[in-house]
Structure 1
Amino acid sequence: MADGRLADPLEEELEDEENAPRLRLSRRGVVVLSVFGAAVVGVLAWLVFYSSVLDVRSVAVQGAPDDNLTPDQVRGSIGALADGPLARVDLDEARRRVEAIPRVAKAEVWRGWPHTLRVKVVQRTAAAAVKGEDGRFTQVDASGVSFATEAAPPAGVPVVELRLSQPALDVESVISRPQLVRGAVAVAAGLPPDLAKRAGSVLVHSYDDIELQLSGGATVRWGSPDQIDRKARLLVALMNQKGTNYDVSAPEAPAVSG
């Protein structure tokens, strides 16, 4: 170099890079690349949304393990919605169809790439079984939804039965039988699990006169379907005392006798 200094190889390399010719695409090249990119995207979209390459080949169901609600029932509710490409399945509509099954409380539907539509269901659980005039039993969940009627109640579920007194019959136009049933179901749903299993029957004599018949022969005078949580706590405490008759109809003055 002119000043006598040794050249720095790194500096020379940087200078060479700065002085190297730039690669510039012509307008035609940009157009060609844009067209090529659009074509690739179009082919991929066709493969995903319209071809049979990623068709639904199976519907996998979770949460339907028994004869009451089978995987085939769930698949049948979805029907032709699961035909064709997985990407085009309307997940919200599939979920609505599954949740229309009376025994289904909630459903989730999602895509399991590349070929599976996945469904998870939560079944309704009976809080009570309402005995009808025909002797059959309608299962009702804790939210008051009726979802099945069978010849016998499920094991361990309280049976609601109307045994209306004359005063209750006299005011039936004011407090209807469906209202009385809803109140009794709310009582059954509000019982702690261990106590609910012991409550064989929930007898409704009137709005203010609901009675529980427990396994072992004990009875509970419950009263109205008001203050359910408070009455349930009182009853659990009272049952630490020996007796055959428990009264929580007036929570301010609970009693045990017999």
Structure 2
Amino acid sequence: MGVAVSGAAVAVDPRMKARRIAVLREQGRRRLHILVALASVVLVAGVGFGVSRTPLVDVDRISITGGGARTAEILESTGFSTGMPMLSLDLGEAERSVASLPWVRSARVWRDWPGTVRITVVPRVPVAEVPATGGRIVLIDSYGYAVEWATAPAEPGGLAHVAVPFAGRLGDIHTAADGPLAVVAAMPDDLRAWVSAVTVDPGSGQLGLQLIGGANVMLGEQNLLDDKMSAVRAVLAGTELDCITEIDVIMPDIATVTRHEPCRPRG
């Protein structure tokens, strides 16, 4: 037995219809908000990328402080040049690259908007020269870092000469020169003019000085260096230097002087 279906329209409660329309509208608004947000992100990214590639935010100037005559070397190390986009600069990598130069103690690189890059360098200061392989001379700072190759030996009274050979490369630390560098740090300027070399005995590790004229100063271990320097100065100021072969200030309170015999003082 069949069932008859009426073709008449089914009546819908107006409240349900209104609710359904409201839900559809809310869903439409949400989709619109999402589309607007996505479009905004794309627009901002596009504008930002475009602006970053325009001359408005290019590098107009690179300022280098502390490089002296070596600013070109610093600039080459960073890889920067005018006209590059400011936002694309890798400041951290540039800073590490500059700081890795053997003669640089520290470096700082930063942006100075709108178009300047600033680089500040603190250089290492040589305090002594050291003989190196191949007949070369290397300059080292107070920490023993090999800073640069010297073009000629230092003038008397200039950089101290540390007679401890160096076989490394620029940027290496000359650890064998620790004791002599402590002597250099304790040496007053007026005594430096008398000293031709700071020495260390390879067997005993005892420190010493070679004076201009040939006399040797025995300093002993790396202790009481200020007192030992004062004792050497007192000997040089109050003793006839002719024929002196050795000054022993290992015990600075009782410095001793040895002369060779026969002694023929200069007339």
Return the TM-score normalized by structure 1: 0.64
Q: Please say if residues 231 and 248 of structure 1, whose CA atoms lie closer than 8 Å, have aligned partners that are also in contact.
A: no
CA–CA distance in structure 1, aligned partners of residues 112 and 51 of structure 2: 14
Question: 1:106–1:198: structure 2 CA closer, same or farther, 3 Å change rule?
Answer: farther
- Find the aligned partners of 1:197 and 1:104 in 2 and give their Cα distance: 28
The unaligned stretches of length 5 or more in structure 1 are: 1-26, 164-177
- Is the contact between residue 104 and residue 124 of structure 1 (CA under 8 Å) also seen in structure 2? yes
Could you list the per-position Cα deviations for residues 199-250 of structure 1 after superposition, in whole angstroms to 9, with x for gaps in the alignment? 33113333433221345776532223x22xx312441365245235643323
- Structure 1 119/57 Cα, relative in aligned 2: closer, same or farther at 3 Å? same
- 1:14-49 residue CA offsets vs partner (Å, 9 max, x unmatched): xxxxxxxxxxxxx99xx7x98998789657744664
> C-alpha distance in 2, partners of 1:45/1:111?
18
Gaps of 5+ in 2: 1-28, 166-173, 259-267
Q: Equivalents in 2 of 1:102, 1:114: separation in Å? A: 32
Secondary structure, in 3 states, of the residue corresponding to 2:238?
coil
Query: Residue 57 of structure 2 aligns with which residue?
Result: 54
The one-letter code sitting in structure 1 at the alignment partner of 2:67 is A
Q: What code does the residue aligned with 1:111 have?
A: R
> What whole-Å deviation, never above 9, does each CA across 1:37-77 have from its counterpart, x for those lacking one?
878965774466443321113322111223xxx11111111
**Residue from 229, 232, 236 that aligns with 1:235:** 229
Out of 183, 198, 205, the residue aligned to residue 202 of structure 1 is: 198
Change in CA separation of 1:57 and 1:148 when aligned onto 2, cut-off 3 Å: same
What's the counterpart of residue 185 of structure 1?
Answer: 181
Q: 1:154 to 1:112 in 2, by over 3 A?
A: farther
- Distance in 2 (alpha carbons) for counterparts of 1:99 and 1:200: 33
Alignment size in residue pairs: 210
Contact 2:179 2:207 in 1 (8 A): no
- Structure 2 match to 1:223: 220
Contact conserved, 1:157 with 1:200, CA < 8 A, in 2? no
CA separation of 1:179/1:40 partners in 2, compared to 1, >3 Å: closer, same or farther? closer
2:97 equivalent in structure 1: 97
* 1:160 aligned residue: 162
For the 8 Å contact 2:210–2:217, the answer to whether it is kept is yes
What is residue 131 of structure 2 aligned with on the other side? Answer: 131
User: What is the RMSD of the two structures over their aligned residues, measured on CA atoms?
Assistant: 3.7
What is the identity, as a one-letter code, of the residue corresponding to 1:157? L
